[in-house]
Amino acid sequence: MKTLQKKLISLFLRHPDYFIRSISSGYPFTNEQLRKYSDKLLWGRNHKPLSSGGLSINDSLPWTKELVNEHIEKWSWSALSIQMIGAKFWYNGLLDDYYEWINWNGFSYNMELPWTDAIINKYRDNLNWEFFSSNEGVEWTPQRIKKFENYIDFEGLSNSLNTPWGRPSKLRNPFRFSNKTSPLLSLTLLEKYEERLDWDHLVFQWDKGLNKEETDEVIEGFMNLAF
């Protein structure tokens, strides 16, 4: 094992909660690895789905029906309903297949789904219209507003930017503590300021600096020493 991997293992052993949270929410695990580390990783249940949603908000996973079904009771269905369905996990018939699992309140916030009139109409009684009316992933055309005017929460719709009267919002890109060309530079800074950094908000980019084989060594080394 190279010095870099050993240093990373040593660093993360001092911050084990951060490490588990970070790899759970951002590392491209294979299904074999998910089985292997199942009881060590965070699946997102009993966590805030948009902050510590763990594997349930990990858009680097191979999101297939087989993967979801194998671990169906472990996911945070609030997190999946809000941001993974439509973005990473979608096929015709999905909403019917997982009808009983979907968190419809969370689903009403979903900005990634291809919101057609047919989908809205079919599931109109499942949607939380207070939430759905302010969903900026829905294109609120005059025709659509007219069609669903008896369901729409117009106070919520008034706050939506994706309406005939709305304005485009500005996207924010979060700062990520890493370096594309020299992972040692990032590691040096992490080690230097680790006592002063807020590890609850630090983002470690697992796709920068190390290849998958090297990162797998870090994960394996950490798991062997931490548990």
> Which of these ranges, 35-49, 86-100, 123-137, 153-167, has the smallest mean pLDDT?
153-167
* pLDDT of res. 93: 95
* pLDDT of res. 169: 36
- The answer to whether position 6 is within a domain reads no
- The answer to whether position 3 is within a domain reads no
User: What is the mean pLDDT of the segment spanning 211-216?
Assistant: 87
Is 147 in contact with 124 (CB distance < 8 Å)? no
Is 12 in contact with 204 (CB distance < 8 Å)? no
d(CA 124, CA 105): 12
- The answer to whether position 129 is within a domain reads yes
112: domain range? Answer: 23-171+199-207
d(CA 118, CA 109): 18
Does the structure show a pLDDT above 70 at 26? Answer: yes
- The answer to whether position 118 is within a domain reads yes
Query: Which alpha helices (DSSP H) does the chain contain, by range?
Result: 3-13, 16-26, 31-36, 65-70, 77-79, 94-97, 104-107, 117-122, 129-132, 142-147, 154-159, 183-193, 212-226
User: What is the mean pLDDT of the segment spanning 2-15?
Assistant: 89
- The answer to whether position 226 is within a domain reads no
- The answer to whether position 115 is within a domain reads yes
d(CA 53, CA 88): 15
* pLDDT of res. 142: 78
- The answer to whether position 185 is within a domain reads no
Q: pLDDT tier at 30 (50, 70, 90 boundaries)?
A: very high
> Which of these ranges, 62-71, 192-201, 204-213, has the smallest mean pLDDT?
192-201
List, for residues 154-198, the tens digit of each pLDDT value.
877 766 655 544 434 332 222 233 333 344 435 665 677 677 666
User: What is the mean pLDDT of the segment spanning 59-64?
Assistant: 95
List, for residues 107-158, the tens digit of each pLDDT value.
999 999 999 999 999 999 999 999 999 898 998 887 888 899 899 888 777 6
* pLDDT of res. 16: 94
Does the structure show a pLDDT above 90 at 224? Answer: yes
- The answer to whether position 78 is within a domain reads yes
Is 12 in contact with 222 (CB distance < 8 Å)? yes
* pLDDT of res. 170: 34
Name the domain count of the chain. 1
* pLDDT of res. 125: 98
pTM of the shown model: 0.74
User: What is the mean pLDDT of the segment spanning 4-27?
Assistant: 92
Task: Report the share of the chain in percent with pLDDT over 70.
Answer: 76
In 3D, which of 185, 219, 179, 222 has the Cα closest to residue 203?
Answer: 179
Is 112 in contact with 86 (CB distance < 8 Å)? yes
* pLDDT of res. 70: 96
